[in-house]
Amino acid sequence: MKNKLEISPVMMSVFLGGCFLALIVFLFCWHLRQSELSYLGERESVLRGDLEQLNTWGKWTVDYVKISRVIDHLSRHKLSEESRQMLTEQIWQISRSYSIDPLLILAVVAQESHGNPQARGRVRSGKESGAMGLMQIKLETAQNMAQHFNLTIETAEDLMKPEVNVAVGSAYLIRLIGKYGKVKEALIAYNLGHSAVDRMLERGQELPTRYYERVISKYNDLARLSF
């Protein structure tokens, strides 16, 4: 005769109670572990953000030093210490705000005026072209651009102020980059005028690249200098 294993209600209650307690302990430990993992994930995210911010600040610092060194090189004592510091701050801010390489702006300065804030452009005949200052901006172009930046430019002499000239010249260059979507076409338009470039593109003519190549050559020279 087979023995039947009988489980009393008390034993069953104890067994079920033990299982229930074990389940509660498991869920509690699981919840603690998930909370810990979530906390670690949040901390990792914060740390990554901090590192990215530090990298950004580091890049901004390097850019500031680059700009300062290049301006000092280009100016060759033609700018006061106050003007050099102001230009460094200005170009640094422009490069941050509009995501443009500051050395590109300075390469245009090098090509246009060789860093001379009193430079006045001339045509082949020797007559003044009307282009003035560090980035060789003409009064009409400057006045059109100044409307968007709350700048007051009444006379050509206003363009001889380095901080005004660079603000307007950089804005014009940035607008051309936005218009054409490429630095090459933008630089050619900066030199020839956007109307001339538009006509050439409409006719399918090949754009002259001499100015662009000169600016890029100066850009590369300045990049080597700034490190």
| Backbone φ, ψ for residue 219 (5° rounding) | -60, -45
Q: Is-above-0.85 flag for pTM? A: no
Residue 54: what pLDDT? Answer: 44
Residue span of the structural domain in which 97 resides = 49-226
Q: Indicate the Cα dihedral angle 109, 114, 116, 121, nearest 10°.
A: -80
Please indicate, yes or no, if residue 119 is contained in any of the structural domains. yes
Please indicate, yes or no, if residue 35 is contained in any of the structural domains. no
What are the pLDDT digits (tens) for 173-193?
A: 999 999 999 999 999 999 999
Q: How confident is the model at residue 3 (pLDDT cuts 50, 70, 90)?
A: low
Please indicate, yes or no, if residue 26 is contained in any of the structural domains. no
Burial 14-47 (b: 16+ CB within 10 A, else e): eeeeeeeeeeeeeeeeeeeeeeeeeeeeeeeeee
- Distance set, CA 222 to CA 3, 40, 56 (Å): 98, 45, 22
Please indicate, yes or no, if residue 210 is contained in any of the structural domains. yes
Residue 112: what pLDDT? Answer: 95
Would the pLDDT of 76 be above 60? yes
59 vs 204, residue with greater confidence: 204
Average pLDDT over residues 36-54: 64
List the CATH number of the domain containing 222: 1.10.530.10
What are the pLDDT digits (tens) for 134-167?
A: 999 999 999 988 877 777 888 888 899 998 999 9
Q: How far apart are the first and last CA of the chain?
A: 97
Please indicate, yes or no, if residue 180 is contained in any of the structural domains. yes
Q: CA 39 to CA 62: how far, in whole Å? A: 34
Number of folded domains that form the chain: 1
Average pLDDT over residues 36-59: 63
Mean pLDDT of the chain: 84
- Residue 159 in contact with residue 142, Cβ under 8 Å? yes
- Length, in residues, of the chain: 227
Residue 57: what pLDDT? Answer: 53
